Structure 1
Amino acid sequence: MKVLRAVVPVMIAGAVAVTVPNGSVNAEQKVLKIGVLGVMSGPAASWGLVNRYCAETSAQLINEQGGWPIGGEKYRIEVASFDDRNDPKVSVSGAERLAYQDKIKYIIGPNVDTTAAAIVPVMEKAKAINIPYAFSRALYTPPRSNSILGMIASYQAGPVIYKYLKTQKGVRSVSFIARNESDPLNQRTEGVAAAKALGLTVASSEDTYEPGTSDFTPVMSRVVRQHADLIVLSGVAPADAPLLIRTARQLGYKGLLSTETAQDAKILNEVAGTAANGFISVGGASTPEIRSEYMDRFVQRYTKVAGEWNDEAGTKVYALEMILRTLSLAGPKAISDVDAFKQAIPRFQVQNPFLKEAKPLKFVGSAYFSQPRQIGVPMVVNVFEDGKFRTLFIGSVE
């Protein structure tokens, strides 16, 4: 298991006084540690790495301005990251390390249903908050209250995408294919229900592939033979998507392909090339057309930190921002007492700092989870064209 730490002066527990060794004027500045827990290796590595790079980028920008204000004092932000390898057991170990050893109360991640569900007992026992990128409603519905969904869920994006393709592209039939794991299978189930509710014909939905598959011809052949107008790659990992797309095109499929998970334009271009043109996916929540100057600065710094921009970072930039802004509202007590943080959630609302237009940013999700346990990021749907994503349309959960 990997523990990855951002470059910071001192690593300490929680938010306490710290002496900075370089003798700066902030010699007694308090420190707030944030955890990042997620998959940072293997086929889905980009999902967790983007979380990590977003947190590290925001921390750099904030610290350069003297820290984040909470209760009249500015806190230096430090980030501790843990690679859970998409394994629930490893994720539990990572959560225990961050919560108990590092005494961290706010953790970004994990990335899928199985790992997010596995750490729920740790979060509750340690009285910590986490922001997963997993879609299981049980994570966010009472009696659970310590997890906050960090993005648009598949069951929120799917119906919007299918409706758009039905009305704008004439889609009448759809086939689904999913990796044989809990998270993709759950997303497939939600997608099938949404398609049927819109009156689409589900041509097939039982085809699956095993983790680690590299030859998708056998399974994709069965899907392509159904001649559906649309093939949905349910819960597809960024490394698998271009292989599935390329295989479908090589088999002669001429219809549309889509997914409700975020993807990596570089991987799509390198592996599938022009075969990926027309592929539709949920994008980052901050496209060039809608970005504020604040977001532009983040994009520039993220590119330096990570080596390149990733569209998904437009969504994952929100996690640390929401944690810190809610802490500012709740006050210093919430740094160590997440109940104070949770009490502030319903009344939290600010102008979205990442958008040009004056739009509110708040916690949403009550219609889905019976409580506001979702970050209200914009719903951006992209289409891949000639090596990059283009915004197809923008919506919202509410």
Structure 2
Amino acid sequence: MKKVKLNGPLIAGVVAVALAISISAVSAETIKIGASAPKTGPLAGGSTVSYWPNVKLWVEQVNARGGIKLKSGKAKIELIEYDDRTNPGEAIKNIQRLATQDKVDFILAPYGTGFNLATAPIFAKFNYPLITHTAITDKTDALTKRYPNIFFTLGSTTAFSVSVVNILKKMRADGKIGSRVAMVNVADAFGIEMANAARPVFKKEGFKIVYDKSYPLGSPDLSPVIRGAKASKPDAFVAWSYPPDTFGLTAQAKVQGLNVKAYYTAVATAFPAFGGKFGKAAEGILGAGGINPDEAAMKEYFAAHRKVTGKTPDYWASGMVYASFQILQKAIEGVGTKDRKAVINYIKNNAFKTVMGPIKFKNQNNEKYWTVGQWQGGKFYGVSSTGRPGARSVNAKPKW
């Protein structure tokens, strides 16, 4: 057997290279991202469709490409996540913990209007950009003046209520419905604000609200609400609802035969599970948001979402949640560092190409967004927006 003699310098060189590789692997840069949203509680049904799958998709895609591009090199995402249990107090604790104990570099916006408003002071205190994706409020002017770090992508309550009223107005002008409206709302920040914004708009356009009822978030039995609405003999039914009640109200409307040609429920109407549960009965139902699912970018996003998460995204908020992550990533890469103040300024002063189309903030507000969608032919298409192309015409809802 022939022996190979290695000289000292060669051995030293091999060891040095191995040590360098080892040190590089250990000290590879990461970027810590925090996330807090419901995994349990009444809003978990919504966040586990629109929020958490998009967190998984975005993190996996970014890390598969080597990480977020910084001046110092690519940094893979280290995700730290918490369940807020659909409790604003728990959400506040989670965001505080992410900022002060976990010391994350950035925090993804929470899920839901009330949770974004509740945690906004903490985001501002620690200079975290708060790119909301599931918050709708008319308080944007006051909030953006108070918090220079907050950004709104989804729109205002007035814009959403005006869009719904305008659709009903057009249907009335076409002779499809009359002027009697039954309106209900979930008794939380979103539902209360939407109902308050809608009342004067309905009155201004000559509609008569013949039934006006609120109900607690997480109500187990919504049959009395639908019973009261049906008794008022409405021409249109409008519910400013969250996911559990969107399903519950619609199930009761079908059982009790609340047949109106304009039927609207808000959040979760765009969920694939909604179309799956109600099947052909979902045809013609109006709801919050919408997209153009036939766009190439949206088709690509749907395919990637299914591949990574095993789930189909919804036809509204899912896309905006993912778009908010795209904006954050592009802003960090634009700055090239983890400097949060610089990232906030970058978001304010640049336009972003997203899955929802181009987004440019004006006074920290996105001015182009979908407001109303409708189930047509097994998909939830946008039928009204504040500037997005591709809106479809509205159809009268057939009987259950």
SS at match of 1:202: strand
Q: Distance in 2 between matches of 1:349 and 1:72?
A: 24
Q: Say whether residues 1:342 and 2:344 are aligned partners.
A: yes
**Residues 193 and 163 (structure 1), Cα distance of their counterparts in 2 relative to 1, 3 Å cut:** same
State, as a whole percentage, how many aligned pairs show the same letter. Answer: 20
Q: TM-score with structure 1 length normalisation?
A: 0.79
Aligned to 2:230: 224
Aligned to 1:5: none
Across the aligned residues of Structure 1 and Structure 2, the Cα RMSD in angstroms comes to: 2.9
Q: Distance in 1 between matches of 2:188 and 2:249?
A: 16
Q: Say whether residues 1:265 and 2:271 are aligned partners.
A: yes
- Report the CA distance between 1:279 and its aligned residue: 1.5
Aligned to 2:14: none
Aligned to 1:158: 161
Aligned to 1:233: 239
Q: Distance in 2 between matches of 1:388 and 1:298?
A: 15
SS at match of 2:238: strand
Aligned to 1:215: 221
SS at match of 1:321: helix
Aligned to 2:150: 147
Aligned to 1:360: 358
Aligned to 2:187: 180
Q: Distance in 1 between matches of 2:308 and 2:22?
A: 25
CA deviation digits over 1:273-328, x for unaligned, max 9?
4443321112454x322232xx5443223213332112232221111111111223
Aligned to 2:257: 252
**Residues 193 and 77 (structure 1), Cα distance of their counterparts in 2 relative to 1, 3 Å cut:** farther
Q: Distance in 1 between matches of 2:369 and 2:378?
A: 23
Q: Is the 8 A contact 1:91 1:119 kept in 2?
A: yes
Aligned to 2:95: 95
Q: Is the 8 A contact 2:38 2:111 kept in 1?
A: yes
Q: Distance in 2 between matches of 1:296 and 1:169?
A: 34
SS at match of 2:380: strand
**Residues 118 and 390 (structure 1), Cα distance of their counterparts in 2 relative to 1, 3 Å cut:** closer
CA deviation digits over 1:78-102, x for unaligned, max 9?
3322221221111111111211122
Q: Distance in 1 between matches of 2:131 and 2:222?
A: 33
More helix by proportion, 1 or 2? 2
SS at match of 1:239: helix
Question: What one-letter code is carried by the residue in structure 2 that aligns with 1:124?
Answer: A
- Report the CA distance between 1:346 and its aligned residue: 3.1
SS at match of 2:184: strand
Q: Is the 8 A contact 1:154 1:260 kept in 2?
A: no
CA deviation digits over 1:167-223, x for unaligned, max 9?
145443322101223331122111223333434332232x12223323222122112
**Residues 346 and 146 (structure 1), Cα distance of their counterparts in 2 relative to 1, 3 Å cut:** closer
Question: What one-letter code is carried by the residue in structure 1 that aligns with 2:355?
Answer: F
Q: Is the 8 A contact 1:157 1:260 kept in 2?
A: no
Q: Is the 8 A contact 2:34 2:79 kept in 1?
A: yes
Q: Distance in 1 between matches of 2:229 and 2:112?
A: 25
**Residues 242 and 360 (structure 1), Cα distance of their counterparts in 2 relative to 1, 3 Å cut:** closer
Q: Distance in 2 between matches of 1:244 and 1:174?
A: 16
User: Which one of 283, 291, 298 corresponds to residue 301 of structure 2?
Assistant: 298
Comparing 243-252 with 317-326, greater Cα deviation is found at: 243-252
Q: Distance in 2 between matches of 1:381 and 1:183?
A: 16
Q: Say whether residues 1:114 and 2:114 are aligned partners.
A: yes
Q: Distance in 2 between matches of 1:259 and 1:188?
A: 12
Q: Distance in 1 between matches of 2:354 and 2:144?
A: 28
CA deviation digits over 1:58-94, x for unaligned, max 9?
2211222222223363221233222212211111111
Q: How many correspondences in the alignment? A: 358
Q: TM-score with structure 2 length normalisation?
A: 0.79
Question: What one-letter code is carried by the residue in structure 1 that aligns with 2:182?
Answer: S
Structure 1: gaps of 5 or more residues: 1-21, 365-370
Q: Distance in 2 between matches of 1:24 and 1:168?
A: 68
Q: Distance in 2 between matches of 1:320 and 1:24?
A: 31
Q: Distance in 2 between matches of 1:23 and 1:229?
A: 71
Q: Distance in 2 between matches of 1:245 and 1:306?
A: 28
Q: Distance in 2 between matches of 1:125 and 1:175?
A: 42
Comparing 190-199 with 306-315, greater Cα deviation is found at: 190-199
